Amino acid sequence: MASPYREEHEQFRKTVRTFAQKELAPFVDEWEKSECFPNEVFKRAGELGLFSAHYKEEQGGIGGDYWFSVAKGEELPHCRSAGVSMGLLVQGDMATPVIGDLGTKEQIEEFLKPALKGEKIAALGVTEPNAGSDVAGIQTWARKDGDDYIINGAKTYITNGTRSDFVTLLVKTSPEQGAHGCSFFLVPSSTKGFIVAKKLKKVGNWASDTAELAFDEMRVPKRYLLGEENMGFMYLMQNFQTERLIAATSCCAGLQLAIDEAIAFGRDRKAFGKPIIKREYWQHKFVELLTKLEAGRALSYKAAEAYNDDKHVNNGQVSMETVKLISMAKVFVGELSSEIIDQCMQFHGGAGYMEEYPIARAFRDQRLLRIGGGTTETMRYYLAKLMGL
C-alpha cells in the first residue's frame, strides 16, 4: 500500500520522537526502579497533542485521522520503556475513545477534554479477579437508587489505576441478561466508596502503575452513565479495537528497534575471530525475522487503514471485516514479538541476560502482548467465530 502518512503526520511523528528520546528516555531507568513515572508526564504529553491528535475539534482534538495515533504508537517505543508507553497509550487510546464515541457534551467537558490535555489521568476498568478475557463473566454490578446507581465489586490489572482521576468502568446493570446486561460509567476516583485496594507487582512494564480497585456502595449519578444502559458489551467490543490495533502497530515499531540494536551489537561483538553478525546462521535468522516483521507491519497497516476508513468514512461503525483484520494483527504480532525478542536475546548471549542491555527489559515487557486486550487463545476463538468455523 502507498504510505498513509502526509507531511502533518511526519511533523507529529518528529514531535513524539523528540519527546520520547529527550524528555522520557533519560529518566526511564529511574522510573522502572520506582515502578511509576511522574504525573507531569501526562500533562506534558497533553501539551504536545499526543492524546488529542485524532479526536474531533469540538472534543478538544485537532480533527486528525487515525494515522496520527499510529504514528504516536510507533514513536513512543523510543522512550525505552514499554511501561511508560503503556500508561500514555491507555490515556489516549484505551480509556477515552469510548467517551469520544458516546459522551454527552457535559461528559466530554468534564472527562474527555481534561484527559486529552493530560490534566486528568484516565484508566479503563474492565478486567476482574474472576473475569479476564471472559468479559461476560464480570461480577461488579450496579443497582438503581433514584437518580443514582450504587456500584459494588472489584477490578484488577488496571493500568494507571493507583493515580487515575477517573475510570471508564464496565459493570453489570442487568445481571440476568449476561453479557448484554453491562453498562459503562465514568467514575471519578474521588467518589466515596472508590478504593485503590493495592498496587500490583508485575513481571514487566515496571514503570506503569497497575492496581486492584474495589467499590463499596459507591454512589454514581445517572449523568455518568456512558451511552445507553445495557449496551456496554457492544461498546466494549468496539473500544477493544483501538486497544488491540495500537498494541499491534506500536509493538512492530518496538520489535524493529530490538532487531536494529541486536544487529549493532553483533557488529561489535566478536566470537571465534569475527563479528557474530558475520555468522551465516545469524544472517539468515535476521533475514527471516525481518521478513516476518514486515509481514506483521503490513497486516497491522491494513487493519489501521480499514479502521480509519470505518471511523472517518463509514459513519464511525467498525465493520466485522475490520474487526477480523485487527484481531489477526494482534494475534500475529503478539506471537511474533515473543519469537523476535527471544532470538535477539539469544543473539546477545550472556550479555542479553544482563539488565544493563535493553533487550533484557524488552524480554520482560513483550510478554504482555499475548495476554492484554484479549489473550491469544481468546482472539483465535473469536476469529474462528467471525470466519464461521
Q: Catalytic residue numbers?
A: 243
Instruction: Name every residue whose Cβ is closer than 8 Å to that of residue 174 and which is 6 or more positions away in sequence.
Output: 180, 181, 229, 230
Residue at grid coordinates 528497534: 257
Q: Which residues of 368-384 are buried (b: 16+ CB within 10 A; e: fewer)?
A: bbbebbbbbebbeebbe
**Grid cell at residue 74:** 510507533
Residue at grid coordinates 467518589: 191
**Grid cell at residue 33:** 526502579
- CA–CA dist 158, 31 (Å, integer): 18
DSSP 109-128: IIIIHHHHTTSS-EEEE--B
DSSP category for residue 216: E
Q: Where are the alpha helices (DSSP H) in 67-108?
A: 67-75, 82-93, 97-102, 105-107
Q: Which of 243, 221, 217 is nearest to 303 (CA)?
A: 243
Instruction: Name every residue whose Cβ is closer than 8 Å to that of residue 292 and which is 6 or more positions away in sequence.
Output: 336, 339, 340
